[in-house]
Structure 1
Amino acid sequence: SEEEGEDEDQSCDITWKNSQRLADGLMKFSIDLLIEVQQESKRNNVILSPLSIALSLSNLALGAANQTEKRLLEVMHLESVPCLHHMLLSLRRRLAEATLSIASRVYVQKEFEVKEKFLEDSEEFYGTKPATLSGNNEDDIMAINKWVKEATNGQIPAFLQQLPGDTVMLLLNAIHFHGFWRNKFDANFTAPDIFHLDDRFVVLVEMMKAQKYTLSWFTLESQDIQVARFPFKGNISFVVIVPKQYSWNTPHVLENFPYRQLCRLFPREVPTTVKIPKIKLDYQLELNNVLSKLGLEELFTSPDLRNIADEHLFVSSIQHQSTLELNEDGVEASAATGVVVSRSLSTFSLDRPFLFIIFEEEMGIPLFIGSVQNPKPSAAPQMKEPQDLPDAADNNEYPMPK
């Protein structure tokens, strides 16, 4: 209500406890999303930005009332975050300094008269006014794509290919991230190497390598996984979760992953022999189906959006796109590395399907979550040679970090 909103302004301190609630909620939402999307996408690489999806849905929540608003917040696990819109505004400001471009916007068909308060609040908290759809499909697609291209600094040039003719309301969010490693990889050592797709097939990929990469990583024996943190510049890190076997139960790992204790679990960094594939991920999907399964079916049929417009409004489509590039780029050149393999060095190889989460470190906010099944989908899989099979040698176990 209006009064609550005014009270909120007075008491919206961004405390550590509130930040934790936001980070926790977004982490749970990330895991729910990835589990659902992976079931739909089968063996494809997936990258999602739970943060950019949450920004879209929270913007919508500004205009929702009663059960619809309550359900939106519950599905994102953010119902217990006080001053949610203020919190997300401060997070957006903080992330503006990162190498991250986020585009998030609500589009409404022109015959609906959008309420002034919703327009003002959207601009204040989410940095963008809802825009109007003209009803001419081609013009609307061009206008949307132009806006996304500008908002993502040209990184997502053609967001939408088509738009259903009867679109009443569209939520879109697009996000691009180019991470610059704190310790960069020397491109001279990048070379084709084997990536295990599963127990039987491998594919040749461009593998970045380093001999004495300072890396913090640990083994979680209870789940038979290894977890490493590769820092990017600017308070963002790339956390990877790799199975010790070639095949694994992703939902089980995600649901039991101790993300709250991550900071405590990471040991000090040690010089490590590292192999990590070059990756360019680009994933686009309509989220209607996934969000319906998580409990938001009503959004697409008969939601209560009375704070957006007086007429009966519903969401026609929620479109999401994430792109991510991982190559040798770093910020600082690392010291010259000798190519002497020392037996005492620990070894960390991303040479099999893995999960990743990109965190904003200060608050522990997940910016991206995804899974890489095959870093080079265009390459033809090959049957493993006998020496590559796991039972031929125990070479799919790693030495423990000292």
Structure 2
Amino acid sequence: MSKTNREIYRAQMDAVKASQALRQKIERFAAEPAQENQTPKRKHRNWKYAAAGAMAAVLVCVLLLASFPFPVSSSSGMVNLMAGISPRAQAASVSAMDENFLRAQADFSVKLLQKASEKGKNSLASPFSVTSALAMTANGADGNTLSQFQQLLGGGIPLEELNRQYAAWANRLTANGSKLKSANSVWYGKDRVTVQKEFLRSNADYYKADAYQADFGSRDIVAQINGWVKNHTGGKIDRVVQSVDPQTVMYLINALYFEDDWSSPYYTGENKDYEEFHTPNGTVTRQFLTSREDYLHDNRAQGMYKPFQDERYAFVAILPNEGIDLDSYVSGLTGEQFLNLVKSKDDRVDFKLPKFKYEYETQLNESLKALGLTDAFQPEQADFSKMGSTPGGSLFIGSVLHKTFLQVDEVGAKAGAVTEVMMTVSSAPEDFKKVVFNRPFVCAIVDTQTNLPIFLGTVTDPLQ
């Protein structure tokens, strides 16, 4: 639905005073209006395009003061200190992406999934989002704390180069009408911490981060932070902060939102195609999407590669071979293997993929510690002296919260009537290879130039 049509649609819904809950449900399934000059080849069917769902992620890094409680007040007095200040253009100028950075990001992506996923449950992480928030935090670190950030995020490359590499990568992915929207912000408590100007400057230059000074003791600060997150995730994630701890002095937040249609859309007809999906806890019946896509394979798995209209992105689904369960496959996966698998496409194959939609939330403290980022979480060891100074105590990371949302399905509704429809395609020769994702699998949204995952997760139950 175009912007103009969407505005008209919303106005019509307002006119009949539809409830907010019903309107949101309808809009999620609203179909693209048929064009008068387009006639489907099979006139006996009513065809509609099927679109990819939305993906959203948010990463919140919470900086605490070791021991210094602050009072509660009634108004936050929020001020954006970066309003009107543009990033310096030369900050993101790199001639080519550094191989060490790319390898480190691939390894970090896979290891993050391994540490953050829960056995037998759907999981989803955005390495891009996590890297963004942690790299912003790294700009306030020094000493061994900084070294651990550099090793984890960039394979040991210096912070300045890490900043430049990430900025160049992010700028390419989000520029020129990109369907990927990324936003960063630094929130710090008025009278709780005096922030170094160079820390804010670096995060503005390389991460385009807004910097908000607010009264963390106010009663409306939670709504303001959550409102910022909701606004930058297409409304998919609306709450990441429940309350502000008296010891909290700073939040570093990345919000990420992706929504696009398939390059080669599914066609939905009147028939419904339901098949069994074998979860760890039993068999469920789910509606499947059918299409012919690029085929991926190695000696442990096979998969599909389906581009979006924005050619910078593609959807990848990976099905472990028979006899290899999902947990074993993920635990044995490496960054290099993931990149090689995504590059392996060499044929066209028929695929059946279940519709799925889920949210995932996890605290990454222990996962990041297991990956080598230990000092930042220890009050006695953390060195964030380049971030700022406080009235008393020392700065350290109290919490790294990651929330994600993923939806892959087809759109099919008109005028408030939610209608489930399914795609059909012309039949292939009997000897044409078919792959059915009817058991747990890995899914990803990848950058088609570097093959790095922007989102990476597992689907154990499409109905979960």
Distance 2:445 2:245 in 1: 33
Between stretches 41-50 and 182-191, larger displacement belongs to 182-191
Task: Structure 1 unaligned segments of length 5 or more: list them.
Answer: 1-8, 331-335, 378-402
Would the aligned equivalents of 1:120 and 1:129 in 2 still touch at CA under 8 Å? no
**SS of alignment partner, residue 374 of structure 2:** helix
**Distance verdict in 2 for CA 1:341–1:175, change over 3 Å:** same
Matched, 1:216 2:294: yes
**SS of equivalent to 1:120:** helix
Q: Aligned in 2, Cα 1:162/1:209: closer, same or farther, shift over 3 Å?
A: farther
- Report the Cα distance in structure 2 between the residues aligned to 1:242 and 1:263, rounded to whole angstroms: 13
- One-letter amino acid of the structure 2 residue matched with residue 327 of structure 1: D
Deviations 1:60-111 (A, max 9, x none): 1111111111101112244237722122222222222432232333333322
Are residues 104 and 368 of structure 1, via their aligned partners in 2, closer, same or farther at CA, if it must alter by over 3 Å?
same
| AA at the equivalent of 2:261 | F
**Residues 76 and 31 of structure 1, relative CA distance in 2, 3 Å threshold:** same
Q: Distance in 1 between matches of 2:90 and 2:255?
A: 32
Residue 181 in 1 paired to residue 258 in 2?
Answer: no
Task: Using the TM superposition, give the Cα deviation of residue 256 of structure 1 relative to its aligned residue in structure 2, in angstroms.
Answer: 7.6
Match of 1:351 among 435, 438, 450: 438
CA distance in 2, matches of 1:10, 1:171: 24
Alignment of 1:278 with 2:355, yes or no, is yes
**Where does residue 83 of structure 1 map in the other structure?**
161
Which residue is equivalent to 1:258?
337
Displacement, 1:257? 5.8
| Closer, same or farther: CA 68–14 of 1 in aligned 2, 3 Å | same
The corresponding residue for 2:35 is none
Which moves more between the two structures, 314-323 or 156-165? 156-165
Matched, 1:16 2:96: yes
The answer (yes or no) to whether the contact 2:106–2:335 under 8 Å persists in 1 is no
Return the match for 1:72 from 111, 124, 149.
Answer: 149
Q: Verify: 1:228 aligned to 2:315, yes or no.
A: no
Counterpart check, 1:201 vs 2:282:
yes
Give the TM-score, by structure 1 length.
0.80
Q: Does the CA-based 8 Å contact 1:65-1:304 persist in structure 2?
A: yes
How far apart, CA to CA, are the structure 2 residues paired with 1:98 and 1:12?
Answer: 18
Is the Cα contact below 8 Å between 2:139 and 2:199 reproduced in 1? yes
Shift of 1:137: 6.2
Identity value in percent: 24
Aligned residues between the structures: 354
1:98 matches 2:178: yes
User: CA separation of 1:182/1:91 partners in 2, compared to 1, >3 Å: closer, same or farther?
Assistant: same
If asked which structure has higher relative contact order (CA below 8 Å, sep 6+), I would say 2
Structure 1 residues 275 and 10, CA gap change in structure 2 (3 angstroms)? closer
Deviation, structure 1 residue 284: 2.0
* Aligned residue in 1 for 2:231: 150
How far did residue 374 of structure 1 move? 0.6
* Deviations 1:3-35 (CA, angstroms, capped at 9, x unpaired): xxxxxx9897523351x3332211100111111
Relative to structure 1, the CA distance from residue 37 to residue 296 in structure 2 (aligned partners, 3 Å threshold; closer, same or farther) is: same
Residues 1:300 and 2:364 aligned together: no
Structure 1 distance, partners of 2:135, 2:296, is 35
1:167 aligns to 2:261 (yes or no): no
Contact 1:284-1:322 at 8 Å conserved across structures = yes
Aligned-partner Cα distance in 2 for 1:220–1:374: 24
Tell me if the contact between 1:108 and 1:169 (Cα under 8 Å) persists in the aligned partners.
yes
Kept after mapping to 1: 8 A contact 2:445/2:454: yes
2:140 corresponding residue in structure 1: 63
TM-score, normalised relative to structure 2: 0.70
Whether 1:192 aligns to 2:270 is no
Letter in 2 for 1:367: I
Is the CA contact (8 Å cut-off) linking 1:195 and 1:205 kept in structure 2?
yes
> Among 389, 396, 403, which residue is 1:321 paired with?
403
Asked whether the equivalents of residues 107 and 336 of structure 2 are also in contact (C-alpha less than 8 Å), the reply is no
Check conservation: 1:184, 1:329, Cα contact below 8 A: no
Shift of 1:375: 0.8
CA distance in 1 between partners of 2:411 and 2:155 (Å): 35
Residues 256 and 84 of structure 1: is their aligned pair in 2 closer, same or farther, counting only changes over 3 Å? closer
Structure with higher helix content: 1
1:83 alignment partner, SS class: helix
Q: Counterpart in 2 of 1:134?
A: 215
Cα distance, 1:163 vs. partner? 3.8
Letter in 1 for 2:163: H
Aligned to 2:205: 124
CA contact (8 A) 1:178 1:325 kept: no
Shift of residue 164 of structure 1? 3.2
Relative to structure 1, the CA distance from residue 260 to residue 253 in structure 2 (aligned partners, 3 Å threshold; closer, same or farther) is same
SS in 2 for 1:16: coil
Closer, same or farther: CA 219–263 of 1 in aligned 2, 3 Å: closer
Find runs of 4+ consecutive structure 1 residues off by over 6 angstroms: 9-12
Which residue type is aligned with residue 25 of structure 1? Answer: A
2:285 and 2:138 map into 1 onto residues whose CA distance is: 46
The equivalent residue for 1:267 is 346
Q: Residues 239-295 of structure 1: CA distance to partner in whole angstroms, max 9, x if unpaired? A: 221112262403444138623434652104x2x332111122321222222212222
Displacement, 1:329? 5.9
